[in-house]
């Protein structure tokens, strides 16, 4: 359905995409530079992360809309200036990274970026343009409109994944919808990033994977931390797995002869 994109070319053509969810930190320091560094040192070339923007327009790598859950600070990021957010510490020890820090620290790594709010649409687009990372990022969002809004601001294409509405359309109506309608709904989409189940609906089935591949779409499944489930999904033919347990996924892929991430990306 879509053309290939350089984002997917970090490993060999036959390699599965192993994606470290918010980096790798068994100690709970998610989305910190320490967590990203730990994943990269394991050999990961793909990092999944999230972006939010401060009240004065600084793009941060962080999942939650507020500081409260994982830091010693409090308040909604969109209502706080960058100077205030800079004082917060993830787990009481790690600062919240700026987007520019992450991009600059690991130039050989691909970033799967979940756009969490509308204020991050212009700031993320501007950052992608400023650092010229069009080939290194995949723009994701639960909101298809938000993802498309980022893409419209860019001078070159980036990889993209479907939002909730597009994923639901493909999952429930994909077998019966005319191809032209699916093509229109999934314009600019290269991957379906989905959970195994959504409520009572089993999303990732053999038929779902076959149908996605028939339309030229990759299937990435989140967030899988059990080795037996990793094996089962890989046997189904999924193209990528997003995990909190980067160590376990690496071992699963090595056992299957499918680990091709390199020891230390540039």
**Rounded mean pLDDT, 42-53:** 98
Q: Which of 21, 52, 134, 190 is catalytic?
A: 21
User: Looking at residue 1, what is its pLDDT?
Assistant: 46
Looking at the predicted structure, is the pLDDT value of residue 23 above 90? yes
Can you list the pairs that 62-71 forms with residues at least 24 positions away whose Cβ atoms lie under 8 Å? 62/31, 62/96, 63/22, 63/30, 63/31, 63/114, 63/116, 65/116, 65/117, 70/28, 70/30, 70/31, 71/96
Active site (annotated) includes residue 63:
yes
* Structural domains of the chain ordered from first start: 6-10+15-255 (3.20.20.190)
pLDDT band of residue 176 (cuts 50, 70, 90) is confident
User: Looking at residue 22, what is its pLDDT?
Assistant: 98
Q: Which of 63, 213, 215, 231 is catalytic?
A: 63
Both tokens of 178, joined, read 């005319």
Active site (annotated) includes residue 5:
no
- Per-residue pLDDT of 90-114, as tens digits, reads 999 999 999 999 999 999 999 999 9
Q: For the ranges 1-5, 75-79, 128-132, which has the lowest average pLDDT?
A: 1-5
State the average pLDDT for the chain. 93
pLDDT band of residue 8 (cuts 50, 70, 90) is very high
């Amino acid at each position: 359905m879509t053309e290939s994109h350089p984002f997917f070319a970090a490993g060999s053509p036959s390699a599965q995409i192993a994606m470290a969810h918010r980096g790798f930190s068994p100690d709970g320091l998610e989305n910190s530079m320490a967590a990203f560094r730990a994943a990269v040192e394991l050999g990961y070339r793909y990092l999944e992360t999230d972006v939010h923007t401060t009240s004065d327009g600084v793009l941060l790598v962080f999942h939650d809309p507020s500081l409260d859950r994982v830091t010693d600070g409090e308040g909604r990021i969109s209502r706080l200036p960058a100077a205030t957010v800079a004082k917060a510490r993830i787990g009481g020890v790690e600062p919240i990274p700026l987007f520019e820090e992450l991009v600059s620290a690991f130039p050989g790594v691909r970033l799967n970026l979940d756009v969490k709010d509308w204020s991050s649409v212009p700031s993320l687009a501007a950052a992608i343009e400023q650092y010229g990372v069009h080939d290194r990022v995949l723009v994701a969002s639960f909101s298809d409109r938000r993802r498309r809004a980022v893409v419209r601001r860019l001078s070159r294409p980036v990889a993209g994944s479907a939002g909730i509405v597009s994923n639901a359309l493909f999952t429930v109506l994909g077998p019966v919808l005319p191809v032209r309608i699916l093509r229109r709904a999934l314009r600019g989409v290269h991957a379906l990033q989905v959970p195994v189940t959504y409520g009572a609906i089993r999303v990732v089935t053999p038929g779902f994977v076959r149908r996605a591949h028939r339309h030229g779409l990759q299937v990435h499944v989140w967030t899988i931390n059990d080795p037996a489930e990793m094996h089962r999904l890989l046997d189904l033919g999924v193209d990528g797995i997003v995990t909190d347990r980067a160590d376990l996924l690496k071992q699963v892929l090595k056992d299957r002869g499918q680990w091709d991430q390199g020891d230390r990306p540039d």
